[in-house]
Structure formats: structure tokens, C-alpha cells
Amino acid sequence: MEIEDLTPFLESASRAGIGIMGCADIAVRRALPAIARSPFRLAAVASRSGEKAKSVAAGAGCAAVEGYERLLEEPGVDAVYVPLPNSEHARWARRALEAGKHVLLEKPAVPDEDSARALVALAEERGLVVMENFAFLHHPQHAQARSLVADGAIGELRSFNGVFGIPPTDPGQIKYQAELGGGALWEVGCYPVRAAQEYLGPSVRVLGAGLTFDAGLGVDVSGTALLGDGEGVGAHCSFGLSHGYRSTYDLWGSEGRLVLEWAFTPSHSARPVLRLEQKDRQTRILAPASDQFVGVFTAFHEAVADPAARPVRHRDLVRQAGLMARIRARALEGAGG
């Protein structure tokens, strides 16, 4: 199948064009509607299947491309969003950067710090940005939480406790495939680990970690990680793929506690609650409804347009990759793996 003529989709030449590499559920369900409301111009959707690309593109009003390499050859695509299986992230991010495209990688971006540093070095050499998609950070409730902590609402921060667990689903899904980078740590554990870094200092280290593996599935299905920084703030992160749904974190300080009741995956129409506990008083704070995917694509567009916005994205990617790799290594070491 030949690549379609993108001319009809390039009316707004001043807007950066973005292509989606793959038709994963998250791309169709969350990314496509968000891009339509972001500063980007949706240029194309690519799939290994030409028919699938056509089906998705028809509903999105953009071009369909068969094959990921063909997407990277298109000059009307300035940036790409990569929601492929975890095992494919590093390879396709590198190819996209080599083709001169900015890259937004679905989480977890890459499995180790060396891979992250290599992508960042290539991006900086080419004058591009490579960014990891933690959309939840772009929901207003997290800015509210950071502001409350900074203003002393809970006194001095002592500890962070984050939990993300989801019920079991079809064992044939990618998150249960070890060879595709599946497992609880990568699928859900990365969320509380990333959230903790918003509050712990840059000297964060792994104090302990454990993973529980399902022999039949061949992947970890639950786990915990204990982190600490040089300022004495600790973080306990727990996660799993065989749990009742929980998506929360709390911040415990010297004078109170702040709880985010729906921290990681609120719906775009929901108004998540922040619960502030101070001595004998409890205050419930409603966050505004927000599509956090619009937020992350808007932030990515800012980094595409403004080189000054790129260093923090690169730093965060490297830091998260290194910390996740150390958590996994500590857990396997403790298990004798």
C-alpha cells in the first residue's frame, strides 16, 4: 500500500504535525481525541496493517500509513507519539529521532538509564525532544497538591505513600507478555514511582524492593518499592495486576496529611478529590475536571516549539528510567533472581 497524499491534512502549516505510530487502544481511546484539542495538527496514523490504519484514520480525519518506517519518511509529520509495546520503544524512538522527528514515548519509555541517556544524547544532537508520557502529571490536581505542600499545609513533608493496582484481565494482553516488556512494575508500578519523584529530592535512592511473579504468566504481578532521599523523606510504592482497583497517593507531613483519592487515571469528566487533614479538621478540595491527555500533548507541543522546555523532559526521562531499573535489580537480587 502506498502512503496517502497528506496534502488535504496540512492546511494549517504553522501548526506542528504529529503522527501516531500504532493503533493501540490507548492511542485510539485517549490520544486521538486529546490531539484534536491540543495545539498539534494530527497528520497521520500508522499501523502495520493498512486496513487498520485506514479504519482509525477515517474516524480521526487524517491520513492512513501502512508501516512505521513510511510514517517517518513523511515531511508533514514533525513529531510522533509511540504507544507500541514497551519492548519496541527504544528502537522506534531512535529511528524517529534519526528521521528528524520529535518523540513522545508511552510509559515506561525505556527499561534502563543507559538507553534513556542514549536517546537523550541523540535528541539533543539533532535539536529534538524525546519525552515520556506520564499524562497524570498534567492533571491540575497534582499542581494543587504541590502548591499545598509548598505552602506548608501539612508542615514538613515526612513521607509519600503511593498505590496503583488494577484487576486481572485477559492473560493474552501485552502487559502479561514478558518478551514485550510486560509485568506489574512496568505497567502500573511506574506511576507511584514517578509521582514520588515530584516530592522527593534529586538524591532519591532505592532502599528496598520486592516483586511477586506468576509462574504461569512469567511476569511479576505485584510488588513494592521503598525509596528515600538525602533529606530524610521516604516513599513507599505498591502496585499490582491482580488487585481491586486503587489509584491514590498521600503525603504525610509534620502537621497533617494530604490524600489524592484518584491520582493516576481519572476520567476526563471527573472532579478528583484532594483530602487535606490538619489536626482536628478535614477539608475536601475538588480539583477541576480535565483531560490529562490534552495536558500532556500540550506540554509536548511546548517542548517541540521551545528548546528551553526540553532539558527538564530529558532529565525526567533519564531519572525515571534509572530509578525503575534499580528497583527491578534490587527486587531480583533479593529474590535470588
pTM higher than the cut 0.95: no
Check which CATH number belongs to the domain holding 54 and give it.
3.40.50.720
Same domain, 156 and 249: yes
Residues with Cβ within 8 Å of 145's Cβ and at least 6 positions away in sequence, in order, are 251, 258, 260, 274
Q: Are 56 and 29 in contact (CB under 8 A)?
A: no
Check which CATH number belongs to the domain holding 283 and give it.
3.30.360.10
pLDDT at 337: 53
- Torsion sign across C-alpha atoms 146, 150, 152, 154: positive
User: What are the helix and strand counts (H, E) for the chain?
Assistant: 11, 14
Place of cell 527538564: 312
Would you say residue 5 has pLDDT above 60? Answer: no
Domain for residue 172, yes or no?
Answer: yes
β-strand pairing of 102-106 with 219-228: unpaired
Is 107 part of the annotated catalytic residue set?
yes
pLDDT at 336: 66
Q: What is the mean pLDDT of the chain?
A: 94
Same domain, 45 and 157: no
- The Cα–Cα gap between 91 and 170 comes to 27
Q: Is 68 exposed, middle or buried (0-12, 13-18, 19+ CB in 10 A)?
A: buried
pLDDT at 185: 98
Same domain, 126 and 154: no
Same domain, 117 and 215: no
Marked catalytic residue, from 54, 107, 175, 279: 107
pLDDT at 335: 74
Same domain, 150 and 22: no
Would you say residue 7 has pLDDT above 60? Answer: no
**Is residue 249 classed as helix, strand or coil in its secondary structure?**
strand
Which residues constitute the domain of residue 117?
Answer: 7-135
Same domain, 154 and 90: no
Domain for residue 119, yes or no?
Answer: yes
Would you say residue 273 has pLDDT above 80? Answer: yes
Q: Which three cell numbers stand for residue 247?
A: 489509584
- The Cα–Cα gap between 209 and 224 comes to 6
Same domain, 200 and 120: no
Same domain, 70 and 57: yes
Complete DSSP assignment for 202-220: TT-EEEEEEEEEETTTTEE
pLDDT at 334: 78
Domain for residue 244, yes or no?
Answer: yes
Same domain, 144 and 131: no
> Domain total for the chain?
2
Same domain, 162 and 277: yes
Please identify, among 83, 111, 135, the residue that sits at the C-terminal boundary of a domain. 135
